[in-house]
């Protein structure tokens, strides 16, 4: 079942005025901000220039909307989910239709395009099931796959584009803009140098794509949601991959990244839960935010030696990942890097590492042992919470153990170095097997509940009483 989010614009008192129907406009009248949900027909005030983001979202009963010729821009999701809207005329003057503008207008049968339209945004007509035909006016000079999720006919009248076998290219055919074919196999023409943003997005039928050696750039989300894509070989000519290029390609099992790529961007393979083999380029220096997040079938990956930056959540929820060796150039282990890697058994941390970020190893149940570099000065909150770690030697330069850092882990004994200034609240809470703890510095601050629900300590009266004598009973109270 699809999750429907309430996109109704939230407005602050004083930043809008309402007309007699309850529609909200900007104080200067140039922008329609929000229409009331009970409308069945509505005429937008003359002089308005912009129909705002999600302005008519949730107007499920509206059947007719009259747009004045003063409108220049229709912002994202402006008419999204107007499920009773059957026809609409976009007057001359409108130059820009942004992403998802008419998304979910399932009864929309006819749309008359503006003769001054210049830009059409991503998925502008997605799920417009009753709309049989859309025209690309001759005035359009740019677009970002407005036909994602639209399965009717497209007629092109613009000299800036070529429509060929249900594929839309730029006029020179150097850019592939929209793949609309139902064929599961496609060979990108040799003249193409760029696959534009979201060009294949949502093409659930595509299984194999052959890329030419001329290709240099694949933009953001180009293959987003191609859940049956099984085979694609990236050519050596490729020098740029955009964010979330293969997001949700659930059938992709293997891929090799060309040597010309030095950075893996945000969400590149996020949700590719069949991916089990990947080869990274030798000169790679950055693995971006959530790049491999939720790649549930990835067991091993070799990180090249020049990688210096692994961003937040890069390998989060890779539940079968077993081994990891990190190169020496990495100084910070970011938030949630290996969160949920429940099969991780072995990891080699670099000597230059100085910080282990929040939730970095949260839920790594199979990780029994880890060697932490002497340069680490901070272990942030929840870093090893719920991990299987039984033994760890804390580094001599460590100053802070964050909140719940080892909470509910399998630790059996721990020695806190003299350098530690503070053990924050709940740091070892719920470590049921922890039976031996030594705090080297009497001046170390111990937070509330630091040893709460540590059964072995609680029932060792000598150890418990010594800790209470130094830090008070609060260290055993749940937080």
**Distance (Å, whole) CA 19 – CA 75:** 21
Per-residue model confidence (pLDDT) at position 1: 34
- DSSP state for residue 300 in the 8-state scheme: B
Per-residue model confidence (pLDDT) at position 6: 66
**Distance (Å, whole) CA 105 – CA 109:** 9
pLDDT at 458 over 90: no
Tell me the pLDDT band of 22, cut-offs 50, 70 and 90.
very high
pLDDT digits (tens, 9 = 90+) for 327-378: 999 999 999 999 999 999 999 999 999 999 999 999 999 999 999 999 999 9
pLDDT digits (tens, 9 = 90+) for 87-99: 999 999 999 999 9
Tell me the pLDDT band of 266, cut-offs 50, 70 and 90.
very high
Average pLDDT, the chain: 95
pLDDT at 3 over 60: no
Q: Which helix (H) or strand (E) holds 26?
A: strand 24-26
pLDDT at 459 over 90: no
Q: Given CA atoms 340, 346, 350, 354 in this order, what sign does their dihedral have?
A: positive
pLDDT digits (tens, 9 = 90+) for 150-208: 999 999 999 999 999 999 999 999 999 999 999 999 999 999 999 999 999 999 999 99
Per-residue model confidence (pLDDT) at position 260: 96
**CB of 32 within 8 A of CB of 12?**
no
Query: Tokens representing 74?
Result: 């229709």
**CB of 85 within 8 A of CB of 107?**
yes
Tell me the pLDDT band of 13, cut-offs 50, 70 and 90.
confident
Window from 2-11, 321-330, 404-413, 424-433 with minimum mean pLDDT? 2-11
**CB of 428 within 8 A of CB of 411?**
yes
Per-residue model confidence (pLDDT) at position 128: 97
**Distance (Å, whole) CA 474 – CA 238:** 59
- Span 40-61, mean pLDDT? 96
* Stated length of the chain: 479
Residue 299, classed as helix, strand or coil, is coil
Per-residue model confidence (pLDDT) at position 10: 80
pLDDT at 2 over 50: no
Per-residue model confidence (pLDDT) at position 182: 92
pLDDT digits (tens, 9 = 90+) for 96-127: 999 999 999 999 999 999 999 999 999 999 99
Task: Tell me the CA distances in angstroms from 165 to 26, 154, 169, 171, 423, one per residue in order.
Answer: 45, 11, 11, 15, 65
Task: Tell me the CA distances in angstroms from 444 to 194, 236, 399, 436, one per residue in order.
Answer: 58, 55, 9, 17
Per-residue model confidence (pLDDT) at position 460: 83
The proportion of the chain whose per-residue pLDDT surpasses 90, expressed as a percent, equals 92
pLDDT at 434 over 90: yes
Residue 371, classed as helix, strand or coil, is strand
Beta bridge partners of 119: 96, 142
**Distance (Å, whole) CA 221 – CA 244:** 5
pLDDT at 437 over 70: yes
Per-residue model confidence (pLDDT) at position 263: 97
The number of CA neighbours under 13 Å toward the Cβ of 63 is: 1
């Amino acid at each position: 079942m699809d999750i429907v989010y309430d996109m109704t614009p939230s407005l602050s008192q004083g930043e809008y005025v309402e007309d007699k129907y309850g529609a909200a406009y900007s104080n200067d009248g140039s922008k329609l901000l929000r229409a009331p949900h009970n409308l069945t027909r509505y005429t937008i005030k003359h002089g308005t220039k912009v129909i705002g983001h999600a302005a008519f979202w949730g107007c499920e009963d509206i059947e007719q909307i009259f747009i004045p010729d003063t409108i220049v821009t229709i912002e994202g999701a402006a008419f999204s989910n107007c499920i009773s809207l059957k026809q609409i005329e976009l007057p001359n003057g409108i130059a820009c239709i942004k992403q998802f503008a008419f998304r979910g207008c399932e009864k929309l049968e006819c749309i008359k395009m503006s003769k001054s339209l210049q830009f059409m945004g991503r998925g502008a007509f997605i799920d417009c099931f009753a709309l049989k035909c859309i025209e690309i006016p001759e005035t359009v000079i740019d677009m970002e796959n407005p036909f994602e999720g639209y399965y009717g006919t497209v007629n092109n009248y613009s000299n800036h584009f070529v429509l060929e076998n249900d594929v839309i290219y730029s006029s020179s055919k150097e850019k592939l803009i929209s793949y609309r074919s139902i064929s599961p196999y496609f060979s990108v023409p040799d003249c193409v140098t760029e696959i534009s943003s979201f060009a294949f997005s949502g093409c659930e039928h595509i299984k194999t794509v052959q890329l030419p050696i001329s290709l240099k750039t694949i933009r953001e989300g180009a293959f987003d949601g191609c859940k049956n894509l099984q085979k694609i070989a990236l050519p050596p000519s490729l020098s740029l991959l955009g964010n979330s290029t293969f997001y949700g390609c659930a059938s992709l099992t293997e891929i090799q990244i060309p040597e010309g790529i030095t950075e893996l961007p945000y969400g590149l393979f996020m949700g590719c839960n069949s991916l089990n083999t990947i080869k990274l380029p030798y000169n790679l220096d950055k693995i971006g935010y959530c790049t491999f997040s939720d790649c549930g079938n990835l067991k091993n990956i070799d990180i090249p030696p020049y990688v210096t930056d692994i961003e937040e959540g890069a390998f989060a929820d890779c539940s079968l990942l077993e081994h990891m060796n990190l190169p020496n150039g990495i100084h910070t282990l970011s938030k949630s890097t290996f969160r949920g890697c429940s099969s991780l058994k072995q990891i080699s941390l670099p000597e230059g590492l100085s910080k282990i970020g929040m939730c970095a190893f949260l839920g790594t149940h199979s990780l029994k042992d880890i060697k932490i570099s002497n340069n680490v000065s901070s272990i942030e909150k929840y870093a090893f919470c719920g991990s299987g770690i039984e033994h760890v030697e804390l580094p001599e330069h460590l100053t802070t153990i964050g909140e719940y850092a080892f909470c509910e882990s399998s630790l059996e004994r721990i020695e806190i170095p003299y350098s530690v200034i503070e053990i924050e609240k709940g740091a070892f809470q719920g470590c049921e097997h922890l039976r031996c703890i030594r705090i080297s510095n009497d001046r170390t601050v111990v937070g509330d509940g630091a040893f709460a629900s540590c059964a072995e300590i609680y029932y060792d009266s000598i150890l418990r009483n010594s800790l209470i004598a130094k830090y008070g009973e609060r260290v055993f109270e749940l937080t």
